[in-house]
Amino acid sequence: MNKAILKPGREASLKNGHPWIFSGALRSLPSIEPGEILPVESARGDHLGYAYFHPKQSLAGRMLTFDARDPLDAVVQSLRRAVEFRRTTILSEITNACRLVNAEADNLPGLIVDQYADVLVLQIGTWGMERLRPTILKFLADEVRPRAILEISQSGSRLSEGLQPVREPLLGEVPEEIECLEEGVRFIVPLEKGQKTGFFLDQRENRAQLRRLSRGKRVLNCFSYTGGFSLHALAGGAKEVVSVDVSQPALDFIPRQLALNGLDQNFSRAVCEDAFRFLEEQSLEYEIVVLDPPAFAKKKKDLPNAINGYRNLNRTALAKMPQNTLLLTCSCSYFVPRESFELMLKQA
């Protein structure tokens, strides 16, 4: 039986639950097609679980299970556990949008599933998950039972594995946009033409925190996209919110969403401009400033330039912010570690 065997001493990370196997840790890997699932053994012959492999990638293997379970059964069990966890901890009468499946965090590396009300958006980023597509779709259709499923698989990791980008409906009739609830705030999510899967669900808790801090405050939201932070600030009682983004179509969602939530349009102003230029040219007489830029580092080699970019952005804002102004600043760059980001802020 084909199997992947590690070099001596390289099993420690797997025994600690880390799901990645780099090519340098492998003593032997049989000739396989990308995405094939193999049992993984230590150099001493101990069974460590099952992983899918790509023989031409430096990140050669990703674990699906750390025990002797059938890997297909393990995938279904991981899907079920992920869905049940979100149903019991996030989804409720006031929130019907969340990341239902979050890749490695749910023992499903290469797979992301976002839920927007009764529509799912699927991302498959690796050959391994591509081969598991029938199992995944059957589970989602049978157990989640969405009205529609849209696939948006266009990540850099997918392209680097030799897979073609995909953007197409997989089930039902996918609407161009859909209304969702997040902590009682109503949003319009552009499914067909939006960024990522339509909305930045990972900022849910930060938006809720901003809402709690915004009463009576003037808030500047840079890189606002469709106004997620802006709506929560206004819902929290902000007396003025300025939303800055380079995309006018994205900004056009803000007044529609204000009307949807019964919020006063007079407290909101949208500025279609490069956020860097806005920060450089405008005075920042606000009590709260939000900086949520796009990823500056899409590859590991981009890290030095990304840190410089974040430093310049935050330094520009901090230099103009009045004393006691709150700064909510973010990085969505996977290759920027938390420690590096915090050090950058101290330097800024």
d(C-alpha 304, C-alpha 59), whole Å: 22
Residue 126 pLDDT more than 90?
A: yes
180 is catalytic: no
If asked whether residues 44 and 75 sit together in one domain, one would say no
pLDDT digits (tens, 9 = 90+) for 212-234: 999 999 999 999 999 999 999 99
| 299 lies in some domain | yes
CATH code, domain with 258 = 3.40.50.150
If asked whether residues 241 and 257 sit together in one domain, one would say yes
If asked whether residues 46 and 80 sit together in one domain, one would say no
d(C-alpha 257, C-alpha 223), whole Å: 17
If asked whether residues 11 and 78 sit together in one domain, one would say no
If asked whether residues 32 and 157 sit together in one domain, one would say no
d(C-alpha 163, C-alpha 187), whole Å: 33
Q: Which domain holds residue 265?
A: 200-347
If asked whether residues 85 and 46 sit together in one domain, one would say no
CATH code, domain with 25 = 2.30.130.10
If asked whether residues 60 and 75 sit together in one domain, one would say no
d(C-alpha 287, C-alpha 293), whole Å: 19
| 184 lies in some domain | no
DSSP state of 236: T
Report pTM.
Answer: 0.91
Phi first, then psi, for residue 53 (nearest 5°) are -130, 150
If asked whether residues 209 and 124 sit together in one domain, one would say no
If asked whether residues 16 and 155 sit together in one domain, one would say no
The confidence band for 335, taking pLDDT boundaries of 50, 70 and 90, is: confident
d(C-alpha 258, C-alpha 65), whole Å: 45
Catalytic hit among 98, 180, 272, 332: 332
Instruction: Pick the range with the lowest mean pLDDT from 9-23, 93-107, 237-251, 334-348.
Output: 334-348
The confidence band for 265, taking pLDDT boundaries of 50, 70 and 90, is: very high
If asked whether residues 125 and 219 sit together in one domain, one would say no
Determine the average pLDDT of the residues in 265-293: 95
Residue 334 pLDDT more than 80?
A: no
